[in-house]
Amino acid sequence: MLSLLAIVAPIFALILCGFIARRGGSIGAAAVSEINKFVVYLALPALLFDVMAHASWQQLYQPGFVLAFGLSCGIVFYASVGISLLLRRPLADGGIDGLLGSYSNTAYMGFPLFLMVYGPDSLVPVTIASIITVCVLFASSIVLIEIGSQREPHPLRLAMKVGGALVRNPLLIAPVAGALYNATGLAVPQPAETFLKLLGGAASPAALVVIGLFLAGPRPVTRGEAGAAVALSAVKLILHPALTFFIAMLLGVPTQLAVMATLLAALPTGTGPFMLAELYRRPAAITSAVILISTLAALITLPIAMAVLGVEVLPGR
């Protein structure tokens, strides 16, 4: 428990910094949108390009792991979207709800947690999960948000507008560009490497501070929004990992990889859904609440999941 708390504490400290800064009057409400744009248009694209430009395709070829984690993410994502639509929420909001139930905080909690538990050998599966989460799920959500945000009745013109918006989106351009650069076999020049590391490293702290700024604002959560946030948090922390483990066992994935996939699915919701909600100016009360609730609850659910799966933090790690 103390080891997990040591990983999660800095995340809450960054959220708290944003909360205190806004409540104390040091940073105003306009910063929520502007800092979020910095993350979406600069910092996160740099991180995505960096990940894809350095990924080893030979090491990343883990079909069983990819299927188990990817299928569970997809099922939870589209099931959450479907339920959202049944509740008569707009499609754009449904695209964000889908992320809330399936978007694990793999990049910012997965790497330190897995290094502590498994050591350097865990970097490959965590990288795979990060690519699926940050690239594939993000792309799916952006497509739904773009479709839901358009008012064009003609299907062909609608498709052209959505397609145009997608090819201009830095969160999709960056990983594709990184993959294409990777395919050339060229090493990233050292100055560019330093640039990507500096800019990409700002994505997580900036996004977390923005959540604190948002939470400090006068945005009361209704009873219905609170109920939705609790339900989506339960989906993320309980249903998602359970489904991942079931699919992994069904596919005959090796035990350690199956456990890794399950633990990655058991991580709380990352900051991606909040960034999209702010970028597209969608209501973000439920989004920020899910991130906060799931991260707090993970202090309890993650140790339970590790105990059930027989995972222990080895001495010296």
Residue with the larger pLDDT of the pair 81 and 55: 81
Residue type, 73: C
For residues 76 and 83, what is the distance between their CA atoms, to the nearest angstrom?
10
In the chain, the percentage of residues whose pLDDT exceeds 90 is 32
Mean pLDDT, to the nearest integer, of 293-314?
84
* Domain CATH number, residue 288: 1.20.1530
Residue 273 lies in a domain: yes
Using pLDDT thresholds of 50, 70 and 90, give the confidence band for residue 4.
low
Residue 138 lies in a domain: yes
Mean pLDDT, to the nearest integer, of 132-146?
83
CA dihedral angle for residue 161, residue 48, residue 203, residue 84, rounded to 10 degrees: 50
Q: Collapsing DSSP states into helix, strand and coil, what is residue 269? A: strand
Residue 218 lies in a domain: no
Q: Which residues contact 221 (CB under 8 A, 6 or more apart)?
A: 229, 285, 286, 289
Q: Is 265 exposed, middle or buried (0-12, 13-18, 19+ CB in 10 A)?
A: buried
Could you read off the pLDDT of 140-164 as tens digits, one per residue? 888 888 888 766 566 677 667 667 7
Number of domains within the chain: 1
Cα-Cα-Cα-Cα dihedral sign, residues 262, 263, 268, 269: negative
Residue 237 lies in a domain: yes
Residue 217 lies in a domain: no
Residue 95 lies in a domain: yes
Mean pLDDT, to the nearest integer, of 110-132?
79
> Residue 190 has what pLDDT?
95
Residue type, 164: G
For residues 236 and 314, what is the distance between their CA atoms, to the nearest angstrom?
27
> Residue 162 has what pLDDT?
62
Instruction: Find how far residue 66's CA is from the centre of its chain.
Output: 16
Assess contact for 107 and 130: CB atoms under 8 A. yes
Residue 132, φ and ψ in degrees, nearest 5: -60, -45
Question: What range defines the domain where residue 195 resides?
Answer: 32-208+225-308
Q: Is 195 exposed, middle or buried (0-12, 13-18, 19+ CB in 10 A)?
A: middle
Residue 15 lies in a domain: no
Using pLDDT thresholds of 50, 70 and 90, give the confidence band for residue 313.
low
Q: Which residues contact 240 (CB under 8 A, 6 or more apart)?
A: 72, 73, 76, 101, 102, 104, 265, 266
> Residue 137 has what pLDDT?
87
Q: Collapsing DSSP states into helix, strand and coil, what is residue 104? A: strand
pLDDT at 59 over 70: no
Residue 129 lies in a domain: yes
CA dihedral angle for residue 239, residue 240, residue 242, residue 245, rounded to 10 degrees: 170
According to DSSP, residue 120 is labeled: G
